[in-house]
Structure 1
């Protein structure tokens, strides 16, 4: 299938944002943004779960229960991600690298399934990783799945309201092209937040 021309810039933006985030998390070299490479150590488990301020939301062992102001742990398996029903706590809690990466992974994996898969995947069944290496691998697999879903659509699908049936957003009410844009901005802004948390973790205790 030929990729619709108006999807190409969004696909390129997704690839760029994904590459930057994986490089920032895994190294050994990341794109510094000016055409040069900067050496990066892979994120450790301690850093992945680091809570820079009290009351952070993170991923936790299900047996330990949710964190402050969270009412349940989303996801499946022995780990879950701090969550609460709408309306969410205000001001919103600071979230860890683990929380942000789990959120991105779930969003990509489930939206891929609800675009070109079984259209039955749920948040309750989605695994949450308690270790950094597993979380990065899961993110990459979910990003691959979403990219394949994008390559499966034609121009008609881009304009179809509800082409993606993802049940945890406004997907069923919007043209699919708008959902593609939304996913990109989620990856861009959470990727930037993860990069900042890595910088803060590296610089903690200085000064």
Structure 2
């Protein structure tokens, strides 16, 4: 296999680190605490996966139950979907659950991988949404692996090619591929941090049920 272009390598390393850290936070038995020490963490449960920290959250829901508050429809395929609405989105924006954020990340990675080095036909309407924690984590791992493989297919010329990724739900057709790689990294990093905070809040809510 051809080595990754030098400009891609630090972004690829950053992506690997972000995914490894997020998976550690979701599955345990320990996670990177940020200071080099391992912190024990319990595996994600279905209850925590769909926990709504405040009323009116957007989440993933059984399609038969319909969308949640202020959502217009459930995105995705299968018996579960993710709350969403067409632009302009509701204001102020709803708080989203861990399930919503993980599903969003998985969809983005899987579809961008397909529109970079796959059929270029995958759609949000057909993308499956997981209703349980184990399925969601496995789907995220698969999406991350597919995106990483798509990155390895890019040579130095591809990094500068506008529209190398034809993902139709963002600015990808108008952006050089290197910019899209950077964008995907920041999505994993910032949503990973949000997921970590939600895990902290869930744990604290169970330790202090009256607060």
The TM tier, using the shorter chain, reads over 0.9
2 CA distance for matches of 1:41 and 1:141?
22
Paired with 2:12 and 2:114, the residues of 1 have a C-alpha distance of 18
Superposed displacement of residue 2, structure 1: 2.0
What are structure 2's unaligned runs of at least 5 residues?
none
Is residue 168 of structure 2 the alignment partner of residue 187 of structure 1?
Answer: no
Aligned to 1:122: 123
Aligned length: 207
1:9-20 pair list within 5 angstroms? 9-20=10-21
The residue number in structure 2 matching 1:151 is 152
Which residue in the other structure is 2:173 paired with? 172
What is residue 22 of structure 1 aligned with on the other side?
A: 23
Question: RMSD between aligned alpha carbons?
Answer: 0.7
CA distance in 2, matches of 1:82, 1:21: 23
Show the counterpart of 2:81.
Answer: 80
- Note if 1:199 corresponds to 2:204: no
> For residue 142 of structure 1, what is the aligned residue in structure 2?
143
Deviation at 1:29, TM superposition (A): 1.0
- Normalised to the residue count of structure 1, the TM-score between the two structures is 0.99
| In the alignment, structure 1 residue 7 sits paired with structure 2 residue 8 | yes
Which sections of structure 1, spanning at least 5 residues, go unmatched? none
Give me the TM-score of the superposition, normalised by structure 2. Answer: 0.97
Corresponding residue SS for 1:121? coil
